[in-house]
Structure 1
Amino acid sequence: MKRTYLPGIIAMAAIVVASNILVQFLYGNWLTWGAFTYPLAFLVTDVMNRVYGTAAARRVVLVGFVVGIFCSLIGTQIMGEFGPLVTLRIAIGSGLAFLIAQMLDIGIFTVLRNGKWWTAPLVSTLIGGSIDTAIFFSIAFSSSLSFIHPPTDVSWAAEVLPLLGVGPEAPLWVSLAVADWTVKLTLALLALVPFRIITARLRTS
Structure 2
Amino acid sequence: MRSGVLIAVAAMVFVVALANYAVQFPLNDWLTWGAFTYPVAFLITDLSNRAFGPARARRVVYAGFVLAVALSIWLATPRIAVASGVAFLATQLWDIAIFNRLRHQDWWRAPLASSVLASALDTAIFFSVAFAGTGLPWTTWAIGDYAVKLGVAAVMLIPFGALRLWIRPWTGQQPTGQQPAGQQQS
Q: Confirm or deny a common fold (TM above 0.5).
A: yes
Q: Is residue 5 of structure 1 aligned with residue 8 of structure 2? A: no
Q: Is residue 119 of structure 1 aligned with residue 109 of structure 2? A: yes
Unmatched 5+ stretches in structure 2 = 170-186
Q: Of the two structures, which has the highest relative contact order with CA contacts closer than 8 Å and spacing of 6 or more?
A: 2
2:88 matched residue in structure 1: 98
Q: Is residue 184 of structure 1 aligned with residue 149 of structure 2? A: yes
Return the alpha-carbon distance in structure 2 between the equivalents of residues 182 and 36 of structure 1: 10
Moved over 6 A (4+): none
Confirm or deny: 8 A CA contact 1:43 1:195 kept in the other structure: yes
2:99 matched residue in structure 1: 109
Q: Is residue 174 of structure 1 aligned with residue 139 of structure 2? A: yes
Sort the Cα spacing of 1:20 and 1:93 in 2 relative to 1 into closer, same or farther, 3 A.
Answer: closer
**What is the DSSP-based 3-state SS (H/G/I as helix, E as strand, rest coil) of the residue aligned with 2:77?**
coil
TM-align CA RMSD: 1.8
Sort the Cα spacing of 1:135 and 1:188 in 2 relative to 1 into closer, same or farther, 3 A.
Answer: same
1:65-144 residue pairs with structure 2 within 5 A? Answer: 65-75=65-75, 85-88=76-79, 90-143=80-133
Return the alpha-carbon distance in structure 2 between the equivalents of residues 11 and 140 of structure 1: 23
TM-score normalized by structure 2?
0.83
Give the number of the structure whose alpha-carbon radius of gyration is greater. 1
Sort the Cα spacing of 1:140 and 1:18 in 2 relative to 1 into closer, same or farther, 3 A.
Answer: closer
1:156-167 residue pairs with structure 2 within 5 A? Answer: 156-157=135-136
| Counterpart code for 2:39 | P
| Counterpart code for 2:94 | L
TM-score normalized by structure 1?
0.76
Return the alpha-carbon distance in structure 1 between the equivalents of residues 84 and 15 of structure 2: 14
Return the alpha-carbon distance in structure 1 between the equivalents of residues 139 and 33 of structure 2: 18
Confirm or deny: 8 A CA contact 1:16 1:67 kept in the other structure: no
Return the alpha-carbon distance in structure 2 between the equivalents of residues 9 and 31 of structure 1: 27
**What is the DSSP-based 3-state SS (H/G/I as helix, E as strand, rest coil) of the residue aligned with 1:101?**
helix
| Counterpart code for 2:11 | A
Residue 106 of structure 1: how far off its partner (Å) = 0.2
Unmatched 5+ stretches in structure 1 = 76-84, 144-153, 158-171
What is the total number of aligned residue pairs between the two structures?
169
Q: Map Cα deviations across residues 137-176 of structure 1 (whole Å, 9 max, x no partner).
A: 1222334xxxxxxxxxx1x23xxxxxxxxxxxxxx32111
Return the alpha-carbon distance in structure 2 between the equivalents of residues 121 and 56 of structure 1: 17
Residue 87 of structure 1: how far off its partner (Å) = 4.7
2:21 matched residue in structure 1: 21
**What is the DSSP-based 3-state SS (H/G/I as helix, E as strand, rest coil) of the residue aligned with 1:116?**
coil
**What is the DSSP-based 3-state SS (H/G/I as helix, E as strand, rest coil) of the residue aligned with 1:27?**
coil
**What is the DSSP-based 3-state SS (H/G/I as helix, E as strand, rest coil) of the residue aligned with 1:203?**
coil
Confirm or deny: 8 A CA contact 1:121 1:192 kept in the other structure: yes
